[in-house]
Amino acid sequence: MVTKLKTKISVTLLLVAVAILAVGVIGFGLSPIAPLMLVIGLIIVVARCFGVSWQASQKALLSGVSSGIAPLFLFLLIGSLIALWLATGVIPTMIWVGFKLLSPQLFLPTALLSTAIVGTLIGSAFTTLSTVGVALMGVGTLMGFDPALIAGTVLSGAIFGDKSSPLSDSTNLASAISETDLFAHIKNLMWTTLPALILSLVMTIILGFGHQTSGDATAKISRLLPLLAPTWWAIVPLGLLVITAWRKIPAIPALMINILISSIAFVTQHSLTAWADLLVNGFKTSSHNATLMALMNRGGMSA
């Protein structure tokens, strides 16, 4: 009994799968779940027709699902951390500092370099985007920058940091699979990642040059600053990120440690019921300021 399909059959199935997904999602506007289940069923049936046992197909299916559990768990932790950092004043402090220190002309290159440095220290693009990235999105939007431009900037920095960090799961995985020394792998990545970062830096400087915050944006920032209460507590969870990176702790336990410390800080002033609701449903500000609500109402596992 064979356990794998021949290359030609596999390629044909791949093309058919892409076609079904494209027609279903793009052509008919379906949810991806239905065409995806159809594709999985088709592959299993075709595989059985060419000698692959039901047991082998089931084993392969479960193996594929298991490889996605770690990223899924990481997303749940990131959602919880965002909610906790909002509720305990960490992200509001970062936004407040951003308003105070960053000028509109230097915002984009500063955002790029900040996320690149944090991504390198942490070794996780997801974590960088969900912490520093969230704060920078809030600051940049109110300064009048296009949200897509800000998102592209912070994503570029975070991805560079992820690829150049010896703590990155994907970088370690790639070097392990290719049986290459980790730092030799990172050094070779620099041939593509470093020119991309330099080009992105030049572009952000050009795009940021001459940018002036509009009067409406300035008024929004002026009204928003008194509503943001900076706290020295923010140093603790941010410092934890640096410490866990320095100790080479993987992303999932590093996030769980930060969530634990942030949860303790939250529970000292709120009930356990409020804490559980916060982790699942995210943070909701008590302010009725529309701008603040747009910035702060986010996070949670359900998001």
What residue segments make up the domains of the chain, in order of their start?
A: 7-67, 77-296
Among all chains, which residue has been given the structure tokens 């440095």? Answer: 117
Q: Which residues in the chain show pLDDT less than 50?
A: none
pLDDT for the residue 16: 93
pLDDT at 140: 83
State the pLDDT at residue 67.
67
**The amino acid at 225:** L
Picking from 287, 283, 274, the residue whose alpha carbon sits closest to that of residue 226 is: 287
Q: Cα separation of 300 and 68, whole Å? A: 20
Q: Write down the pLDDT at residue 114.
A: 83
Q: Which tens digits make up the pLDDT trace of 140-153?
A: 887 888 889 999 99
In terms of Cα–Cα distance, which of 103, 88, 92, 87 is closest to 140?
Answer: 103
Residue 64 has a pLDDT of: 76
Helix 69-87 to helix 90-101 angle (10° resolution) is: 70
Rounded Cα distance between 255 and 77, Å, is 7
